[in-house]
Amino acid sequence: MNLFTPIVNLLAKAHPSAKRLMHKFNGGVFPKYNKSLSASQPIRAKLIPQQLILPLQQQVGLPPEVKVQVGDKVKKNQLLAQPSKDPFKALSVPVHAPTSGTITAIQPITLPHPSGLEDQAIILEPDGLDEALDNILGVDGTVPESPLALKEILLNAGIVGMGGAGFPTYAKIPNQRGKIHTLLINGAECEPFITCDDLLMQTEADSIIQGALITAEALGAERIICGIESNKPAAIKAMQKAAANNRVEIKVVETVYPMGGQKQLTLELTGVEMPHKAHAVDIGMLMMNVATYTTIYRAVTFGEPLTSRLVTVSGLGLNQPFNMHVLIGTPFSTLAQAAQPKTELNYPLVMGGPMMGFKVANNDVPVIKTTNCILANPPEPVEMQMPCIRCGDCMDACPVNLLPQQMYWHSQAHEFDKVEKLNVFDCIECGCCSYVCPSHIPLVQYYRHAKSEIKEIHAEKEAVELAKQRHEFRLARIEREKQEREARLKAKKEAVKKEAAKAPTDESAGKKTSSAAAAAKAAAAKRAAAKGQQASSTEEQTETKMPSARLKAIEAAKLAAQKSVKRETSDADTDTKQDAAPMAKPDPKAAAKQAAMLAAKKRAQAKAQQTAETTDLTQETATTEASEKESARKAAMQTARAAAKKRAEAKADKTDSIGEEEITQPNPPPPGKTPKDGTVDKRKAAMEAAKAAAKKRAAEKAALEEKTVKTDSADEMTDSQPSESDSATSTDNAADKLKAAMEAAKKRAAARKAKQQADEQ
């Protein structure tokens, strides 16, 4: 660079754009700076206006809550509004009284914001005494030892980034010490007209350096680098003097707009190109404006909140531009009038510089914490917008290396997906492209619009996706409930069958159980009937909406369930014959129930046959791959085991609700199950289940301890429930769910087996 610099300097004399070779980022522009307008004047004495307007919304994030009432007398630095919610989430900061006086109103006013919207503000009428409360933050003047302690002070002092965006400073600082290795001081001030940072560095270099040292100490940062543009020799000198005996490095950077951009200055000072979408904190760097460091210093050392700031009042329409320590809340018009406008201020003032500032909707808007400049430039004739001639001047000027002409082309055509592909979100809206555009196209405006449109499109997409997920989950839930009911029904039927089979051998027990079983059967049959109806009605829905794999699985499960119902009902017919013998004797109630049950059963049977016919088609098309068969068999086994478990549980007087979730988990068997296999598996599984149930019952009779064992296993089941239901809620990973359920079922089965073995011994 040393060899290169004189050559470029020579070239720059011949042609100014050669200066672009002098800095590390692409492009940049060299506007007329007009800085001497205000920089040549000394800082003016403080001015206390007639009225201070303190908008609650001073920064990004949510506004704080008002803590005073109309008519209250307040003193300087007194807390007026405080964040109500968690400030770390809401990005909210408090507002303090800039001077002493009376609160005259709390009303909506026009905000100094590009939108020109209105919002609540506290109106303070100063009494002119300027009575202050000292050290309202209660600091002891020592350097905070941890980032958290510093953040606490910064939050209470209401400090936000004073360079422009107004991001609350506490929110920028990481909680852990040592995360930031390099602290950067932004003294570039690249916008034309603005000189407040320049004068601040000239007059308060020590506070800036102290503020930086305090911050570095608290955060454990190793390096402190300050970047100042070469067009501020006085500021550079003052800062170098202040940094002479400490570790702050002062670096002079080229005068080019937008050197003061965070990414641009970071690259210039450290040589690190901040990765796309990363924050400075992610790469261990933290950059703050010089003004922010002074307020940090004042807050930490004297306990002073942020109530005033240095503001440049400048512009070609003013006779006496100046810089002044302005109380937050001072109306723009008051300050502009103090600079003696050349003509009546019947044009909008600009907050900020000419490159990135915005015209205020009303010249009476107040100075807020982020107001660095009030600009009064009389309106100039606007050149007509011409078509883009693709000259590429914008591309040569873009500090982010975008293709502004292409982005404009697509923005204009509303092809926002293409605009996004051209990385419009990397645009820092510095205005270089618009500045150089020979066609006078307001390019930045197009990109802002494109960004908001793209955000909207994404939000819509997300909403649609969410709705889709909800719908699919709902369908899955309906299906699950259906299968639950089927499983329950089957379990109860099995139980009844076994009871009935046992009845002749044990009469005293038989009486009891047969009536209970009959009741259960009746209820189950009713449910099955209802189920059948539901199934036929929901079937069409599920068929159209569900993914084919899931559909197949459900179909297979349904089929299996139906098969078992069919078989059981036929079994049950023989059961009832057996049942009839003991029944005939004593119980009239039981007889009535029996009759009802029989009728219900018949109905269920008819229904089951009907549905079986409708699902024939799917059976035929189902694939028969071996591996799938295997898994299907396994799943069927699981179902059966689970059903057996369930029955055991019912025996143990457990409520249905406990078992519901559990039973359903292994339910949807994978697709591709052939009907033949299904029936075989089912039968096998049913037999196994029956065996298990019989064993259980025998064991119950044999030993009293059995009950405690079962309750244990039931407990175990309820324990495993939450995780299962959790996984059930996410529709995406159905496979995982199934696996997990199978695992759980297997475990339980193993436990049961062990217990049974123990019992048998």
Do residues 569 and 608 touch, judged by C-beta distance below 8 A? Answer: yes
Do residues 305 and 157 touch, judged by C-beta distance below 8 A? Answer: yes
434 binds another protein, rule: CB under 8 A: yes
550 binds another protein, rule: CB under 8 A: no
**Residue ranges in 12-31 that form contacts with another protein under rule CB under 8 A:** 14-15, 17, 25-26, 29, 31
**Residue ranges in 672-701 that form contacts with another protein under rule CB under 8 A:** none
SS3 call for 257: strand
CB 328 to another protein: min, Å: 22
Q: Which is nearer to another protein, 264 or 576 (CB)?
A: 264
405 binds another protein, rule: CB under 8 A: yes
378 binds another protein, rule: CB under 8 A: no
For another protein, which residue of 91, 106, 114, 152 counts as binding (CB under 8 A)? Answer: 114
Q: Which is nearer to another protein, 78 or 434 (CB)?
A: 434
Task: Count the Cβ atoms, other than its own, within 10 Å of residue 42.
Answer: 9
347 binds another protein, rule: CB under 8 A: yes
Q: Which is nearer to another protein, 26 or 538 (CB)?
A: 26
Burial letters 115-153, b for 16+ CB under 10 A, else e: eeeeebbbbbebeeeeebbeebbebeeeebeebeebbeb
CB 258 to another protein: min, Å: 11
| Structure-token match 């510089």, residue found | 353
Identify the CA nearest to 554 among candidates 626, 475, 630.
475
CB 71 to another protein: min, Å: 29
- Residue 399 amino acid letter: P
Identify the CA nearest to 536 among candidates 604, 599, 614.
614
Q: Which is nearer to another protein, 394 or 663 (CB)?
A: 394
CB 377 to another protein: min, Å: 7
Do residues 156 and 148 touch, judged by C-beta distance below 8 A? Answer: no
For another protein, which residue of 43, 116, 149, 755 counts as binding (CB under 8 A)? Answer: 116
CB 427 to another protein: min, Å: 9
Strand partners, 692: none
**Residue ranges in 242-301 that form contacts with another protein under rule CB under 8 A:** 263, 273-278
For another protein, which residue of 255, 294, 377, 731 counts as binding (CB under 8 A)? Answer: 377
**Residue ranges in 442-471 that form contacts with another protein under rule CB under 8 A:** 442, 444-445, 448
Report CA torsion sign: 185, 188, 190, 195.
positive
> Which residues, other chains included, contact 505 with Cβ-Cβ below 8 Å and sequence gap of 6+?
none
Q: Which is nearer to another protein, 387 or 588 (CB)?
A: 387
Strand partners, 19: none
* Four-point Cα dihedral 348, 352, 354, 355, nearest 10: -130
SS3 call for 179: coil
Question: Left if phi > 0, otherwise alpha if psi is -120 to 50, otherwise beta: which for 717?
Answer: alpha
**Residue ranges in 487-516 that form contacts with another protein under rule CB under 8 A:** none
341 binds another protein, rule: CB under 8 A: no
**Residue ranges in 156-195 that form contacts with another protein under rule CB under 8 A:** 192
50 binds another protein, rule: CB under 8 A: no
Q: Which is nearer to another protein, 110 or 731 (CB)?
A: 110
C-alpha–C-alpha distance, residues 298 and 157, integer Å: 9
C-alpha–C-alpha distance, residues 31 and 68, integer Å: 46
Q: Which is nearer to another protein, 449 or 511 (CB)?
A: 449
582 binds another protein, rule: CB under 8 A: no
Stretch that binds another protein, among 342-350, 561-569, 672-680, 706-714 (CB under 8 A): 342-350
DSSP state of 216: H
109 binds another protein, rule: CB under 8 A: no
Q: Which is nearer to another protein, 24 or 470 (CB)?
A: 24
- Residue 648 amino acid letter: A
431 binds another protein, rule: CB under 8 A: yes
For another protein, which residue of 82, 120, 240, 423 counts as binding (CB under 8 A)? Answer: 423
Q: Which is nearer to another protein, 184 or 208 (CB)?
A: 184
704 binds another protein, rule: CB under 8 A: no
Do residues 295 and 202 touch, judged by C-beta distance below 8 A? Answer: no
Q: Which is nearer to another protein, 386 or 694 (CB)?
A: 386
Question: Left if phi > 0, otherwise alpha if psi is -120 to 50, otherwise beta: which for 25?
Answer: beta
For another protein, which residue of 98, 161, 354, 672 counts as binding (CB under 8 A)? Answer: 354
Q: How many residues sit in the footprint of another protein (CB under 8 A)?
A: 72
600 binds another protein, rule: CB under 8 A: no
HSE (CB half, 13 Å, CA atoms) of 467? 6
Backbone angles phi, psi at 251, to 5 degrees: -120, 130
Structure token pair of residue 485: 């009911």
For another protein, which residue of 403, 591, 612, 658 counts as binding (CB under 8 A)? Answer: 403
For another protein, which residue of 136, 388, 546, 597 counts as binding (CB under 8 A)? Answer: 388
436 binds another protein, rule: CB under 8 A: yes
411 binds another protein, rule: CB under 8 A: no
C-alpha–C-alpha distance, residues 343 and 347, integer Å: 10
Do residues 368 and 94 touch, judged by C-beta distance below 8 A? Answer: no
